[in-house]
Structure 1
C-alpha cells in the first residue's frame, strides 16, 4: 500500500496514511518575527499551502509546542481545529493536547502512533530547550514512517532503529538550527541526516525543517549535496512544497 506526503514548509507536512490525514508540526504564519523569551526567531518564507488549502486534519503530530518554528500562531489554530493532537507531556500541560511518553503508543483508526525519544540539542540541553518527541507510524500493509521532530541525537536514532528495524520513510528534521544562547546544533545537519538514514536503513528520506527560518544554518541544497556525496541521492524524496508525492511500502 501507499502513503502520500505533501511538504508544506519548514517542519510541516501532510501525510495521508491508512485513510487518515496527518499533519506534522503546523506552521502556517506568513514571514515575520517571533519573539521567544530573549530571542527573536525570524520566519523568512510562508507555507506552500494554507490550513484552508489543507482541509480536514484527523491527527496532528506535534514534536513540541515551545518554539514558533514548529508551532506558530496560525499553526495553533490549525491544531485546535484538528480531531486529535499527540505531543509531549509538557505540551499537553501547556495546551491540553494528548500526551505520549517515549515508547508509549496511541491507536488512531488503523494507524498506531508510537512516541520515540528525541533531544533538541546536545546532551544536557533539555532544561533550556524543553521536551521534544519523535513518532513512528505503523499501519498494516502501509509504509512504516519515522517523523524525527527536532532531534539532534544520533544515539536516539540508533535506539529507534533497534525497535523499528524496517523504516520505509524517514521524515528527518534538519537545518542545523542554531541560536545565540546555545552555540550548538539544535537539529541534525546534512551529514548527520546521512548517518541517520544509514542507521535506520530508510528506503525513502523526506527532508523537513531545512528552509524558511533565519536560524537554520543549512538548507535543501546542503542536504542534496551531502546525500549525493554519500551516494544516497536515490533515497531522497524532496518535492517542491505543495506538490504531493506517493510512496509505497516494501
Structure 2
C-alpha cells in the first residue's frame, strides 16, 4: 500500500447524513427488506453482516453496527441526469428507499463524480461534514463547490487505503477490535486508445475507482493499527464503473492467494450517447462481467447497476444467460431493489 489514512467511526458522534437529519444516534430507522438471500451453497444461518440493494450502484454494507453507503443515487423514474457534454439519461426505476428514510450511516464510498452515482438532490441535501471516501478527482470537485464545499472528503488513488475504526468494544479478554479497510482499486470508465486520449483532454467522463472492502480485526494499540496486521474475515470487491481492462489484472496479482468472498459488479453495458446510437460503451456488459468472474474468482457475485437508466444496453437477462451457460448459477445471487444479502465475517484467530 502506498499510503494509509485513518477514520474513526463513533456511533455516538455520527455526523448526520443530511442537513436536516433527525436520527443522529439512538435507534436507526429500519430498512424495508423485501427478501433476504444467503450464500447459495454454504449458509449455516450464522450470518453477521449484510449488503442491502437500493438501486443502480447504491447499496448499504453493514457489519458490527457500521454502515457504509455506496454511490448514493436517489432519483425516481422519470428524473434525468447529465452524464457529459450533450449526454443525459432518464431514470427508469425507483430506489428501494428515499434519501430521508435511510438509517444512521457512517460514511459514503463514492466511486466517481457522475450524476447517476451522486445526483444533484444528494449533493444539495448532504451534510457538508459527512465523511466521504472517493477519488482524487471527485474530492477536488466536492471540496471546490462554489456555495457549500464538502469538508470531510478522503481521497484514495489506486492501491491507497483508509482504515475505518469502529467504536465496538474489544473482544473480551483481548485488545482485538473490529476494523474495516477500504482500498482504491483500478478501473477505467473509457476504453483505452484514442477515446481515452480525447477524454483526457475534454474531461467528459470522470476517472473512477473500484474498491476492496476488508472486514476484519486488528489489535488496538496506542500507536494505531498496522495495516498489514489485519486479520481479514471477509473481502468485498466492488468493480465500480469500469470496463474489463488490463489494469484489473493488477488487482488479482495484488491479492496473491487471498480470496474475494463477494464481488459487486457494475454491469449494464452503459452506452454513450445511448442504446439508439451506441458509439462507445463505458461499463461492462454481460460478456465482460463473466470475464471478470473468471479473473477474480469470487465466492459469490452480485450484479448491480444494470437496468436503472436509459443508457444501459445490456440487460440483466444477458448476464443470467452467460452465467447459466457457464454452469455458475450457484455462484451468483440476484438482488432486486429492496433485497438483502447476508454473509458471515469470520472471527479473529484466537478470539
TM-score (norm 1): 0.92
Instruction: Determine the C-alpha separation between the residues in 1 that align with 2:253 and 2:64.
Output: 24
Select the residue among 129, 136, 144 that pairs with 2:212.
Answer: 136
- Structure (1 or 2) with the larger CA radius of gyration: 2
Greater mean alpha carbon deviation, residues 26-35 or residues 75-84: 75-84
SS class of match (1:144): strand
- Quote the residue 1:33 is aligned against: 80
Per-residue CA distance 1:145-170 (angstroms, 9 max, x = gap): 01111011342222111112411000
Matched, 1:155 2:251: no
Q: How far apart, in 1, do the equivalents of 2:290 and 2:135 lie?
A: 27
Matches of 1:61 and 1:82, distance apart in 2: 14
Indicate which of 179, 185, 191 corresponds to 1:122.
Answer: 191
d(CA) in 1 for partners of 2:155, 2:254: 21
CA contact (8 A) 1:14 1:24 kept: yes
Equivalence map 1:65-104=2 (5 Å): 65=113, 67-77=114-124, 80=127, 83-96=130-143, 97-104=153-160
Aligned residue pairs: how many?
Answer: 249
In structure 1, distance between residues paired with 2:112 and 2:191: 17
Task: Kindly indicate whether the alpha-carbon contact (under 8 Å) linking 1:28 and 1:73 is maintained by their aligned counterparts in 2.
Answer: no
Tell me if the contact between 1:56 and 1:82 (Cα under 8 Å) persists in the aligned partners. Answer: no
Q: Which residue of 169, 174, 177 corresponds with 2:267?
A: 174
Partner residue, 1:107? 163
Q: Structure 1: which 5+ residue stretches go unaligned?
A: none
The structural deviation recorded for 1:17 is 2.9
> Quick check: 2:210–2:239 contact (8 Å CA) kept in 1?
yes
* Aligned equivalent of 1:184, options 280, 283, 291: 280
Change (3 A) 1:161 1:17: farther
Superposition map of 1:1-12 within 5 A: 2-12=48-58
Question: 8 Å contact 2:161–2:182 — kept in the other structure?
Answer: yes
RMSD: 2.0
* Per-residue deviation, 1:129: 1.5
Q: Which has the higher helix share?
A: 1
